[in-house]
Every structure is written in C-alpha cells, then in structure tokens.
C-alpha cells in the first residue's frame, strides 16, 4: 500500500496525502522518500499549479518513527550521499544531511506553491513536513510541538523555529517541549488560516484553487523572491549550524548511552503527550 497518496481534487491542484494513520503518520525513510517522489511528480506535471500536503487520520504527523532506523532506502536525492555507510556519528550526520535537512530544504524550494493542510498533532519531525510548505492552513484542533530537547539535542533538524515563531516563543517551545495551539500559531504568524476541523479540507482546497488561477511563472518568481530573502537573513547558514549542533548532541548520546536517541527521551515525550502538553 502506498504511504503517500496522490489525488487531483480540482483543476490545477495536486493533493498528496500521508497514508500511515495507524502510526499517526510517523515518518519512516520509505514515507519520506515516497513523499519526495510524489512531490517531484507533481512539480513536473504542467497541469499542476498548486500542491497541497494533507494527512489521513486524527493527527498530521507524530514525527520521526524512531523504531524504523536510520537509512536511505534508495539513491540519495538531496545530497551527494557521501559517507552514508560510515558508522557512528559520521554516518548519522551524513544520513541527517540527506534525509532530514536535505529533503526539507529541497521541498522548501520546490518551484510551485505548496500548502500544508494540518489537523490534530504535529510533533517534532512533523514540523519538517509543515514548515517547508509555503502556506499553512490548520484545523482549530491542531497543535504543534518540538519536544526533542528531551533527547539531548537542540531541536528538529530543519531548525527554522526563529523564523516561524520569533526568538522568544521559539525558546519557550524548545525549553519546555509544550505544544502551541493553532490559535497561538496563527497569532505568531506561523499559520496562515485557522478553520473549523470539519471545514479544513474545503477551506484548503478553496485557497489552492484561488492561487492556481494566477500565472504559474509569477507565482514561482514570488516564491523564489521570498525564499532568497530568508536566505539573505541568514536562514540557510543558521540551518547548517543548527544541524551541526544537533549532531553534536547525537555524538554525545553515542558516547554516553550507546545510541543517538536514548529511549529515556521518548518516555519523557510520551508522558508529556499523554498529559496534554
């Protein structure tokens, strides 16, 4: 069964749907690379003007599936793939450059407008699917969290927290691991629209159809202009530096605990999720 479903709900609109609801759309490498392939397919289809990323089930994504392991299921697409077969911290760094930061950067710069359609919980690695999208439409039940300081690292690998939330709220999110509501995310500028959960699909599609009616080249130029402005602010350099620090945390975990993501961190996150935080 496909892990990502491709739909065409309206003229000019492709909708990609994460289809692993029994795992709360937790991301194993197969899902990430299947999503990348679907995005490439939609980007190369001249009939597609706008791409929507949605998800089956009550939650958008529970983040990385830590039980799946760290591997590239095919040829690398975001980097040259050097040292992926190296052991220890070196191999893991190469993996995260390719599969986590590399794919998220690649999706951010996809040359067509993208919209994330988000419901329920988006946790940690789930943000790395949402934040590279151009526009975010959230259901009123949506929450967003990056609790991975519990693993002894700085945050998720696509470290754009500052640009999404502002520096004060970014620090609070990372220091506490607490969730941010859809309403707060909208107030902070991370989310474009908040709608009733039962209106999420129709509201997102209406927006996608409106955008699809505009000239495709104008949309591409507008997107590139904004993205290059982010890079001029230092976002690209900050991402590289944050990933290096992230992997310093992994290396420390390997030395102390013999694994890059100690199981005790997952227990902390599960307890907080269960308590509603």
Using CA atoms of 16, 19, 23, 29 in order, give the dihedral in degrees to the nearest 10.
Answer: -60
Tens of pLDDT, residues 217-235: 999 999 999 999 999 999 9
Q: In whole angstroms, what separates CA 190 from the centre of its chain?
A: 13
Tens of pLDDT, residues 3-58: 999 999 999 999 999 999 999 999 999 999 999 999 999 999 999 999 999 999 99
Give residue 267's pLDDT.
83
Distance, CA of 52 to CA of 186 (rounded, Å): 19
Structural domains for the chain:
4-274 (3.90.226.10)
Residues ≥6 apart with Cβ < 8 Å to 180: 143, 144, 145, 165, 169, 173, 188, 190
pLDDT at 277 over 70: no
Tens of pLDDT, residues 64-100: 998 999 999 999 999 998 899 999 999 999 999 999 9
Tens of pLDDT, residues 141-151: 999 999 999 99
pTM of the predicted model as reported, rounded to 2 decimal places: 0.96
Tens of pLDDT, residues 201-221: 999 999 999 999 999 999 999
The proportion of the chain whose per-residue pLDDT surpasses 70, expressed as a percent, equals 99
Pairing of strands 4-10, 50-55: unpaired
The proportion of the chain whose per-residue pLDDT surpasses 90, expressed as a percent, equals 91
Dihedral over Cα of 57, 144, 154, 134: its sign: positive
CB 98 within 8 A of CB 76: yes
Tens of pLDDT, residues 258-268: 999 988 888 88
């Amino acid at each position: 069964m496909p892990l990502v479903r491709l739909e065409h709900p309206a003229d000019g609109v492709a909708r990609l749907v994460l289809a692993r609801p029994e795992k709360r759309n937790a991301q194993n490498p197969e899902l990430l690379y299947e999503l990348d392939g679907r995005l490439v397919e939609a980007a190369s289809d001249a009939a597609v003007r706008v791409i929507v990323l949605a998800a089956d089930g009550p939650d958008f994504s529970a983040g990385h599936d830590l039980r799946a392991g760290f591997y590239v299921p095919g040829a690398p697409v975001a980097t040259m793939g050097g040292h992926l077969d190296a052991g220890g911290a070196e191999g893991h760094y190469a993996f995260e450059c390719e599969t986590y930061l590399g794919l998220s950067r690649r999706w951010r710069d996809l040359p067509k407008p993208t919209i994330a359609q988000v419901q329920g919980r988006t946790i940690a690695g789930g943000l790395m699917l949402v934040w590279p999208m151009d526009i975010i439409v959230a259901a009123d039940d949506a929450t967003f969290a990056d609790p991975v300081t519990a693993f002894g690292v700085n945050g998720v690998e696509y470290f754009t927290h500052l640009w999404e939330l502002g520096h004060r709220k970014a620090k609070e999110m990372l220091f506490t691991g607490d969730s941010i509501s859809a309403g707060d995310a909208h107030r902070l500028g991370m989310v474009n629209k908040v709608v009733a959960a039962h209106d999420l699909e129709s509201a997102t599609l209406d927006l996608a159809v409106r955008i699809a009616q505009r000239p495709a080249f104008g949309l591409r130029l507008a997107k590139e202009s904004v993205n290059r402005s982010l890079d001029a602010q230092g976002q690209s350099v900050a991402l590289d530096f944050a990933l290096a620090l992230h992997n310093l945390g992994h290396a420390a975990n390997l030395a102390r605990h013999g694994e890059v993501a100690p199981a005790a961190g997952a227990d902390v996150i599960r307890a907080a999720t269960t308590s509603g935080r």
